[in-house]
Structure 1
Amino acid sequence: MKDRRIAIVDEHQLFLDGMRNLLLSFSLVFAVTTFNTPDDLLSDLDTGNTYDLIVTDAMMTKADGPSLVDALVSRALKIPVLFLSGSDDPLSFAEIMKGGASGSISKKADKTMFFQAVETVMGGGVFTDLEDSALVPVSTGLRYGAAEDHASVPKLSGRQLEILQHIRRGMSNKDVAVHLLISENTVKSHLKLMFRQLGVTKRTACIQKAQHYGLI
């Protein structure tokens, strides 16, 4: 099996070394390269190197995660990006996702959750533990559209599936936000991501598509 290449960006070498060792402990098929700044990674990419996943600190002295994502987009590089967030990072889930990143996870997350985040984002899904530390990706079997290739089933997080269930019952975005104790903007951000994942533009179509895939 070909090694899956992962790039890690962080200003602190000890943290980089720890992250590298953690990733290598997950799998022998991970090839991990570390960079101290986003510019170092971008210079490497400009030479023709590429990666299956970029794991980067969300906030750094010389640049932040969204700026790195913008630079990747400007180079037409479609590499999934997983942000590492600290407790004092001001970036919200919506701000992280609107630039094109694929997920975020706290630097304090345990090994199991971090592995889930890496596998989900590398596999084309979306992952976050912001707003709710129990927010993890959910894998479900197909009930509808059984002929679909299981690998093609969109990956929605537990929180996203929870929001879909409430919307299916006729709740408004505001009602869902109050019920789940999150902001209405967070609900809207989750919906926007689900629309993109499911290839739809309306709530009704989103519910129908999720049912088709057996997600709800």
Structure 2
Amino acid sequence: MSEVRVVLVDDQELVRSGLRRILRRRDGFEIVAECGDGSEVPATLDGLSSGEDRGVDVVVMDLRMRTVDGITATADILARGDGLPVLVLTTFDDDEMLSGALRAGAAGFLLKDSSADDLIRAVRTVADGGHWLDPSVTGRVLQQFRTGPAPAPARSAVDPLTARELEVLQAIALGRSNGEIADELVISELTVKSHVGRIFTKLGLRDRPAAIVYAYDNGLVRPGRS
């Protein structure tokens, strides 16, 4: 298995040091760069992508920084169009910032006081194309995220979907990557990708975060389930 290549973005050296101690090379991670502010991210990523190595697999992003915050930096990363996923780190009471990060396209969020094991799982999940929503604040963050009309009843919400597409949507909402969904449903990853595309088209969804919100809003999964 190749190493997960990580960029750390946090304005506190003490926090970055702690992350380095957890995301160790012997556990399958390589910290390829660190940024002390969101303003440093574009040049850092440009430098990494222009080299001969294989670039970056995931950015671990703080939200509150002095010059350019994590929401803006996340949006800038997603605007690059190369699909680089972002996992944001925050404190328990940062619901508004977290919902902003999801709108910006973050692949997930994790509380800074989470365990080392959760951090490792979250980074691997996001790097593999999945999503990670910390269950202790998921419900509150989704409430902040919702900006549209009240959701339709659950039956009408899933009527356009086949039974298998519904299974895939529920798995997406639980943060599963395409590879994990393929293993769970005993189908190919290419088939999963086809299902995901049809789900987005049928439900008018833009991306996986929107699918996660849709599933929670319509009672297809509940916060805390894993």
Partner residue, 1:173: none
1:34-73 to structure 2, matched below 5 A, reads: 34-49=34-49, 50-73=55-78
Q: Partner amino acid for 1:31?
A: E
Partner residue, 1:83: 88
Larger proportion of helix: 2
Query: What is the rounded CA distance, in whole Å, between the counterparts of 1:16 and 1:116 in structure 2?
Result: 18
Partner residue, 1:131: 137
The answer (yes or no) to whether the contact 2:92–2:111 under 8 Å persists in 1 is yes
1:48-197 to structure 2, matched below 5 A, reads: 48-49=48-49, 50-91=55-96, 93-129=98-134, 130-131=136-137, 137=175, 142=184, 146=186, 148-149=187-188, 153=192, 192-194=210-212
**1:137 offset after TM fit, Å?**
4.7
Query: What is the rounded CA distance, in whole Å, between the counterparts of 2:97 and 2:15 in structure 1?
Result: 23
TM value normalised by structure 2? 0.59
Partner residue, 1:15: 15
1:131-158 alpha-carbon deviations (Å, 9 max, x no partner): 259x975667645xx4x1269758xxxx
SS at match of 1:91: helix
Report % sequence identity.
22
Give the paired residue count: 161
**Bigger CA drift: 51-60 or 34-43?**
34-43
Higher relative contact order (CA 8 A, sep 6+): 2
TM value normalised by structure 1? 0.61
Unaligned runs of 5+ in 2: 50-54, 140-172, 194-207, 222-226
SS at match of 1:47: helix
Partner residue, 1:178: none
1:145-177 alpha-carbon deviations (Å, 9 max, x no partner): x4x1269758xxxxxxxxxxxxxxxxxxxxxxx
